[in-house]
Structure formats: structure tokens, C-alpha cells
Structure 1
Amino acid sequence: MTVSQANTASNVTLNEAFPFFNWRLLFYLIHPKEIPDTDNIDDIPNYANQVVLVFLLLMVGEWAVKYYYTGSGFRVNDTITSVGAGLASQTLKFLTRSMDVVVYMWIFDHWRVWTVPLRSWLGWGLAFLAADLAYYWLHRANHEVSILWASHQTHHSSEEYNLSTALRQSMIGGLYGWVVYLPMAFLGFTPVAHVVHAQLNTLYQFWIHTAMIKNLGPLEWILNTPSHHRVHHGRNPYCIDKNYAGALIIWDRMFGTFEPEHQDESVVYGIITPVASFNGIWVQFNTYISIISRLSTFKSLNHKLKSLYMGPGWRPGTKRLGNPEDIPAIESPIRVFEVSVPAWKTLYAFVHFVVLVVFFKHAAAHYNQWGTVTVWTVCFAIMITLGNVGSVLDDRKWIPMAELARCGVLGLMISKGAEVDLVGAPAVALRTLFALSAMLWTGCLTKQLAEPSQKRQ
């Protein structure tokens, strides 16, 4: 049952009042009676799929506003990396179907103390508060526990701050993040309540990733706003480990982690140690490599273990989260990671990335009907494509060989009629794209291999 069907069944007219697609889902503007009256979580819509068009329109609108006021938009390479990281995190869910819900349902069925009705305003409000509080503690743990930060740093790795940054999500975070919601099962919030509010809480956080909205007046006291979240994404010393809120900033005010935006100091975005890559896969895993390397610098087992569960800035002799004075001051002028590549490579990366986004949408709609081997193959192809596209923007020397192999294999798979429900014009278009791309990289590789001999002459 879709939101529209549930709306009609319950005689709620919010869709008539707010007809612009489903933009209201980004602001929690949904009546509890719009939720399908079911105990089957498979009947709950994927709300993220319903707002994809809204995401795109808002990102285009944000770009236009920035261009109008500043004369420049957002960097293509950074935007591709952010959206690509989001695709990677969603692709992993193809392989971990409903793992979180299975555990949640078991606890709810066997250990709940009572049942909280979701389709009432009281139950809806309590579920909203419970889910938002759970997210606060998850988010705080992601920043204050080193091994968890290795996953969450993906979201903070962009040196830009715009709506595309909201999509720069961790792959690994989804494997453990659901654990913080399990207390809701003990308290009697239904699996449907968990699935609905976890989705809506995430969607709310999309629109606050912007520098275009300055201040929301009295709402700043209660809600998490763009101003509050800009602080959270800053690497200025005053911004570190602040404003963990999901939808409500009240939790930060209650637990001592709130910090307002300083009007006399511009927020500088990113992480203290930049990733220095546009590879959407590398930004997912680079910090794990750093953590493993760091283990060898500690002599005792105790210190090795502490380096995993203390804060990212911890070292022997410091506080749990490290010493605040160790956070480097912002240097001027601000320098962001950039790679100068020929325009044709940027265009190539953009075209292949757009094709990947379209294919991902297709895969998300059909993967439940595919066999296990096909799902794994598709996931692998998506990951390889994300890595290669990012590495084109990084101008890596090995890309001609890697892209020739990728385009050749994927083109061959489509030609052989792989079980991905692609037929007719889409299949022809993809085969043509991969064939032309393979020809392009063959030429590049030939030129690259000829260069050493030309230099010797």
C-alpha cells in the first residue's frame, strides 16, 4: 500500500493540501493514519524512493540560488563523490535484507513490556521522540568511538556543504546502526513504528545540509536546523563533537553537546585529516586502514584496545576524546582538495555516473526478483563503477586499463542477456555506451603505453 492509498483509505487530505510530490515527508508532515494499518513491514513504503525527484529538484534549486548570489555552483567531482557514497550505502542493503527488522521483531514478540499504538497521536509522538533520541546516541557514538568514526567519517569527508552532502552516507554504518533502536522494541513500539520513524528521521536530515538557509528564529531552540548542522560538519575547533541531533536539537541542549554557530567565524567543512580522493569507495574505507596502521604504534594491548573504543583523537595520557588543544586551528586561505583533469574526463565521469544512478534505481525496484548470484554481481558492478568513476576524477594512471576492463565486461554481460531485466532500447543504449567507452580507453591505453618508448627516443 502506498502513502496515497493509505491516505485515501483513512480520509486524510494532506496530499491534497500539499500536492508537490511528497516533499512533506522531508519535514515529518505525515498523519499517523497515513501509515498502512498492518503488522507486515513489507507493506510499509520506502519513503526515500518517493522523494527522489524532490531531492533532485531541491539540489538543482540550491545550485541555482548559489550561482545567482555567488556566480559559482558546486564542484561536480565532490557532488559525484557524495551521491556515489550514498549509492554504495544503499547498494549494500541489497545484500543485508531486513537483518535489523528480524532482530527487532523477535524482541518485540517475546520481550516487550506493553504495546504502543502507532496510529494515534500519542503513540506517534512517543515513537517520534524515542526514535530521535536513539538516533542522537547513535550519532554521538559514531563521533566519540574511534572504530565507529571510521565508518561515519564518510559522511563528513566532503569539504563542501550542500544538499548532496546529505547523501554521502556510510556503507558500514547501516550494518550496526539499527542496534540503538532495539530499546524501542522492549518498550513496545511496533516494528512498523521502527521502520517508519527511522526512515522519516533520516529524510528530515536531508534539507538541513545547506548553507543557503541562515536562521529559523524561534525554531532554532527546538529543531535541528541548517545553522546547527553546519556547526556539526565544521572542522573548526569549536565545532568538533557538537550538535548530534537528528530532528530535535533539544537532546544536545539536555546532554551538553550543543554549540550555536559563531557569527564571527565562518564554518570550514570536512575532517581534520582530509581523504584527498573523489573515489566514492575509498572514502568508505580509508579510515579503517589508518586505524589498523595506528594500532602498531601502541605497545600494550590495553592501549591498542583503547585506540578502538576511545575517541578518534585519543592517545595515552589524554582525555577520552583527546585534548581539545590538539585540534588544529583553521589556516587561511582555506584550501580544498582538487584535481585538475581534462574536461572530457569530467564529462565522461558525469555521463557514466548518471547512467549508474538510473541503473541503480532499476536495480532497487527489481533486485527482490533476482537470484543471489545476480544480486551479488550487480552489487559488485555498482561498486566497481563507483570506484572507477571517482578515480577518473582523481586522474589515476591505471584508469585506462581499469575502465577498458569494466566497460568490456559489462558490455559483454548485457549482450549475453544477463538476468537484470534490461531489454530493448535501454540494453542497446548501454551496449553502445560501453562499446564507445572501451574504444576511447583503448586509444588512451595505447597512447599511454607508447609514451615510455617516445621518451627514450
Structure 2
Amino acid sequence: MEILFDNMPNPFTYFVPIFAVLIIVEAYISYREDRELYNLKDSMASTMVGIGAAVLNTLTKAYHITLFYLFFELFEPLRVEYLGYDNLGWAWWVWVLCLIGDDFNFYWHHRFCHTIRLFWAAHLVHHSSSKFNLGTAFRNGWTIFLYKPIYWLWLPILGFNPVMIALCMAFNSIYQFFLHSTLVPKIPVYGQIFNTPWVHQVHHACNIEYLDRNHGGILIIWDRIFGTYRDKEVELETKFGVLHPPTKHDPITLNFHEFQDIWKDVRSVKSWKAKFMYVFGPPGWSHDGSRKTSKQLQQEWEENRKAAFAQPVQQQTADAQVA
């Protein structure tokens, strides 16, 4: 291989000091302007979860690269026979295509994390904070590293070098750190194509109308293309977190409480269809209708909004008829 795994640079090493400085600056602005963007318990939870995620990310990096190399080598004869090349190399345009492909993968990986309960259990920790700050960016699920590479396997199959793929994934994660802040205003032109903190606030909100929106990593165009984009409304108060927040804030509870709830739900029903839906159905699904999915909640919200809007119109019509 042209670049050995042992010599692969780790971009995070260079950005950690920048991350730390920006978090301190944001915390200072929060204190000076009394914005309450941080609190001690929440920040400690983010720190502990982030440390665990960093350790697990390091431990699973070899697994990710090995898996990518396996498919890279396995499909090389087929690439030579049917596509006429053994690999795509390291040209600048290959990097661009890899970055776009990586971001496309992230969109669908992220979207499924919100629409399939088992994956939501792994991702939920990232949304568990009622605060939205740069420290929240480090709240990454500990189990998500086990299945995440599956979405990226088509890239080494097509001939993208596994090291290039890993670096693009790292750059994507670094970019997303800067999305977690309420201090950045709306960026009109740039924000039409690229993800911004303004747009990402919608993704972390638990307002009914904002649920399961804006899943993009670097590019926001995927959400526009696939119908999951929602702009932030200035007049609407944004509430961060999840609809049913965990009662404890230790990293073990934050990472595994939803898996425990899934197991309880699976054991509570006899139907294999219901068991399957409790694992692979959307979060909030229930066999008896006692809970509701985000789509059901949004449908109710829309119906109530229309009813509230129609009521004054009906009253005006009635008043006109009486007159």
C-alpha cells in the first residue's frame, strides 16, 4: 500500500488545542453575557462521554481500516476486469469525490440513527444534553463505532484508498465540532450548501416540528434533496435535548439506558412482529399506541396547528352571517 496505517496522520491531534480554546472562549462569553450555555453537571457528562468515545474510536480505528482494506483488496480483480483500473489513486479530484461520498454516507448513517430504534440507542447520547454548546460535540455514543463503517464499504469497493476514506471521515467529524454553538448567526449564502451552527440547532432541538431534521455533516444539500431540511425559525424558542431525557447523567446510563429499554419492550410482547418493531422500528413505536413516533407527533402538531388557524376564520364567518 502507498500509505501504511502506522504512518497515517491523526488530524484530531492538531485540532484538540483549538477545540479547547474555543470551548473556553464560548464558556467565558456565556458567563459574561449570562447566557447559561454551560452547567457543571452537563459539562462533566459531556467530558466523560467524550473521553470514552475517544478511547473507543482509537481502539476501533484499526478495525475500520482493516475492514476497508479487506473490501479494497477483495474487489480489486473485479475493478480491473469491469472498470479498467485497480484503484483510484491520490489525485485531487479523487479526494473531492471521496469527501462528497463520505458526506453522503454520513447523511444516511445519521438519518438511520434517528429512524431505527437500535441505532438511535447508540446515537441518543449525542442528543441527551439540554444544552447546546461546543462541548456537546464530544458526546458521541460508545457503540456507534461498531457498525458505522458498514455505510462506507462501497467506497473501498470502488477503489478509494482506505486511508483516504479514514481521513475524510476524520475531517467530517472535525468540521462538525464547529456546528455545536448558538453564538454563530445565520450565514445566508454559505448556509444554502454547507451545514452551519444555525441549521444544526434544529437537528439538536426537541421541538416537535424540528424532530429528525438536518442530518447532514458538512453539506446540507442532502437534506434539501431527500426532504429532511428545516430552517430555524427566529420567533420559535428552540428547546434542546430529547423528549424523554434520562434521569441520570453518568456516562454508562447515557450510553446504555435505551438498550435496556429496548430489551424491556421486547420481553413485554409475545408477537415476533412487535419484537422486531421494538428493535428496528422507529423510536417511539409501540404495539398498543401508548407511545408515538416523531412522524405521528408531527402529524398531530400539524393537525392542531391547522385547527387553531381555522377556528378564528370560522368565527369570523359566523359573525359575518349573524351581521
TM-score range, shorter chain: 0.7 to 0.9
Q: Which of 191, 212, 222 is 2:183 aligned to? A: 212
1:167 counterpart = 2:138: yes
Aligned residue in 1 for 2:44: 80
1:279 counterpart = 2:250: yes
1:151 counterpart = 2:151: no
Residue by residue over 1:198-239, the C-alpha shift from the partner in whole angstroms, topping out at 9 and shown as x without a partner, is 100011000110000021121110001001110000000111
Amino acid at match of 2:88: V
Report the Cα offset of residue 296 of structure 1.
2.9
1:117 counterpart = 2:89: yes
Q: Distance in 1 between matches of 2:300 and 2:164?
A: 40
Distance 1:179 1:128, change over 3 A: same
- Any stretches of 5+ residues in structure 1 without a counterpart? 1-36, 330-457
Amino acid at match of 2:4: N
CA contact (8 A) 1:311 1:322 kept: no
Distance 1:237 1:321, change over 3 A: closer
Aligned residue in 1 for 2:265: 294
1:66 counterpart = 2:30: yes
CA contact (8 A) 1:81 1:279 kept: yes
Aligned residue in 2 for 1:100: 64
Distance 1:322 1:290, change over 3 A: farther
Task: Give secondary structure in 2 for the equivalent of 1:315.
Answer: coil
Q: Distance in 2 between matches of 1:41 and 1:95?
A: 13
CA contact (8 A) 2:65 2:163 kept: no
Aligned residue in 1 for 2:156: 185
Amino acid at match of 1:106: L
Q: Which of 126, 136, 155 is 2:97 aligned to? A: 126
Q: What does 1:208-287 correspond to in 2, within 5 Å?
A: 208-287=179-258
Larger radius of gyration, structure 1 or 2? 1
Q: Distance in 2 between matches of 1:110 and 1:89?
A: 30
Report the Cα offset of residue 106 of structure 1.
1.2
Task: Give secondary structure in 2 for the equivalent of 1:323.
Answer: helix
Aligned residue in 1 for 2:307: none
Residue by residue over 1:261-281, the C-alpha shift from the partner in whole angstroms, topping out at 9 and shown as x without a partner, is 011111100111111222122
Report the Cα offset of residue 96 of structure 1.
3.5
Task: Report the TM-score, using the length of structure 1 for normalisation.
Answer: 0.61
Residue by residue over 1:295-348, the C-alpha shift from the partner in whole angstroms, topping out at 9 and shown as x without a partner, is 23333011111111111022348798651348899xxxxxxxxxxxxxxxxxxx
Q: What does 1:305-320 correspond to in 2, within 5 Å?
A: 305-316=276-287
Report the Cα offset of residue 68 of structure 1.
2.6
Task: Report the TM-score, using the length of structure 2 for normalisation.
Answer: 0.85
Report the Cα offset of residue 176 of structure 1.
0.9
Q: Distance in 2 between matches of 1:71 and 1:198?
A: 33
Q: Distance in 1 between matches of 2:269 and 2:153?
A: 35
CA contact (8 A) 1:315 1:322 kept: no
Task: Give secondary structure in 1 for the equivalent of 2:241.
Answer: coil
Residue by residue over 1:232-291, the C-alpha shift from the partner in whole angstroms, topping out at 9 and shown as x without a partner, is 000001111110000000000000110100111111001111112221221011111111
> Identity of counterpart residues, as a percentage?
28
Distance 1:71 1:316, change over 3 A: closer
Aligned residue in 1 for 2:107: 136
Number of aligned pairs?
Answer: 292
Q: Distance in 2 between matches of 1:320 and 1:276?
A: 21
Q: Distance in 2 between matches of 1:223 and 1:325?
A: 26
CA contact (8 A) 1:144 1:311 kept: yes
Q: Distance in 2 between matches of 1:54 and 1:128?
A: 22
Task: Give secondary structure in 2 for the equivalent of 1:45.
Answer: coil
Amino acid at match of 1:117: G
Distance 1:326 1:279, change over 3 A: farther
Report the Cα offset of residue 179 of structure 1.
1.0
Aligned residue in 1 for 2:19: 55
Q: Distance in 1 between matches of 2:117 and 2:132?
A: 23
- Any stretches of 5+ residues in structure 2 without a counterpart? 80-84, 303-323
Q: Distance in 2 between matches of 1:145 and 1:216?
A: 32
